[in-house]
Amino acid sequence: MIPLPTGTEPVRQFAEVLVMKIAIPVCGNRVSTVFDAADELLMIDNTPGVSPEPSRAFWRENTLIGRTTQIRELGIQVLICGALSGAVARMLEAAGVQVIPFIRGTVDEVFDAFCNGKLKGSHFFLPGCVPCEGQGPQRRRWRGSGRTGGEEKP
């Protein structure tokens, strides 16, 4: 069972809109190292005023496209996952899903860190994937955090 964050304050760390439905592709009780290899999808409904209820969904299809479609159909707003190819991330982001990739750790600690705004800590990122201050694909993924890594001040 996932330890729930204290209170039910809206979670705004990564998304500009209120985050309500978060999903984590998992292997057992751990964030799957690679998105493609996840056994199932753990979903947490974090609607303010409602007690967050975790639930699990098995993948309907084993294809990337099937999984992407399922994530969209489930109304997921934020996907916290392990290693994910840029092409899939682009597809999910284009469909309005905010992707926080290259995360590792147990579901409990990752969800807790996300709710408390501490997921930016380097120990949650897979080796070599910590968002850096310079330009880079990892940094650009932090789109909802208010940091605009894709642009540089003149």
Question: Where do contacts with another protein occur on this chain (CB under 8 A)?
Answer: 27, 32-38, 65, 68-69, 72, 82-87, 89-91, 93-96, 101-102, 104, 126-129, 136-138, 148, 150-151, 153-154
H or E element: which one contains 99? strand 98-100
CA 13-15-20 angle, 5° bins: 95
Closest to 91 in 3D by CA, of 67, 61, 57, 119: 67
From the CB of 28, what's the least distance to another protein, in Å? 9
From the CB of 54, what's the least distance to another protein, in Å? 21
From the CB of 18, what's the least distance to another protein, in Å? 21
Residue 40: what residue type?
A: E
| Rounded-to-integer distance, Cα 105 and Cα 122, Å | 11
- Which residue is associated with the tokens 């284009």? 94
From the CB of 150, what's the least distance to another protein, in Å? 8
Residue 19 vs 71, nearer CB to another protein:
71
Could you tell me the two tokens for 98?
A: 């905010």
Residue 11 vs 35, nearer CB to another protein:
35
Residue 23 vs 129, nearer CB to another protein:
129
